[in-house]
């Protein structure tokens, strides 16, 4: 399908010419609209709104034994990783916060929702 395009030439008169829909293209957006923000990159490089949280969880599962992180919930708010739940010690929490900051896209870690409990209680 084609459409008419109206434009003026240098003499001030109107020019009419057909323009096909095939030649219509999306505007050329700046490159930052074409890339995925680091906090939104999923496990396989796709766009994922919770990508950072999923990548942090994947990193924790590789680094820590499952029983140490089973009662831990990992979410995100933008580039901030939020840890909530129960873990066994302050040193483990410190290690997790440091490790979370090494994941691409993380700028801060919130741990206000983490409760320290004895391993026997977990």
Task: Please report the pLDDT score of residue 6 as a whole number.
Answer: 46
Q: What is the pLDDT of residue 4?
A: 46
Distance (Å, rounded) from C-alpha 3 to C-alpha 72?
A: 58
How many of the other CB atoms lie within 10 Å of CB of 56?
A: 25
The 3-state DSSP class for residue 57 equals helix
**Which whole-number Å values give the CA distances from 114 to 1, 55, 62, in the listed order?**
60, 19, 20
pLDDT 10s digits, 38-90: 999 999 999 999 999 999 999 999 999 999 999 999 999 999 999 999 999 99
Q: Which residue, chain included where needed, has tokens 């483990």?
A: 92
CB atoms closer than 10 angstroms to residue 106 = 22
Provide mean pLDDT across the span 12-21: 53
Token pair in block for residue 59: 């990193």
- Model pTM? 0.72
- What's the CATH fold of domain 37-116? 3.30.1340
* pLDDT band at 11; cut points 50, 70, 90: low
Q: How far apart are CA 114 and CA 119, in angstroms?
A: 14
Residue with tokens 């440091």: 98
* Confidence at 25, pLDDT banded by 50, 70, 90: low
More confident residue, 13 or 52: 52
């Amino acid at each position: 399908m084609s459409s008419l395009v109206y434009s003026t030439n240098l003499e001030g008169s109107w020019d009419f010419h057909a323009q096909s829909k095939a030649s219509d293209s999306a505007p050329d957006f700046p490159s930052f609209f074409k890339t995925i923000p680091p906090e939104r990159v999923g496990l396989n490089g796709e766009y994922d709104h919770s990508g950072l949280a999923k990548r942090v969880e994947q990193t924790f599962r590789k680094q820590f034994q499952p029983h140490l992180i089973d009662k831990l919930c990992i979410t995100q708010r933008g580039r901030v990783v939020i840890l909530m739940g129960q873990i066994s010690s302050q040193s483990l929490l410190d290690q997790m916060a440091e490790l979370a900051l090494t994941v691409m896209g993380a700028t801060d870690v919130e741990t206000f929702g983490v409760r320290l409990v004895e391993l026997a209680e977990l």
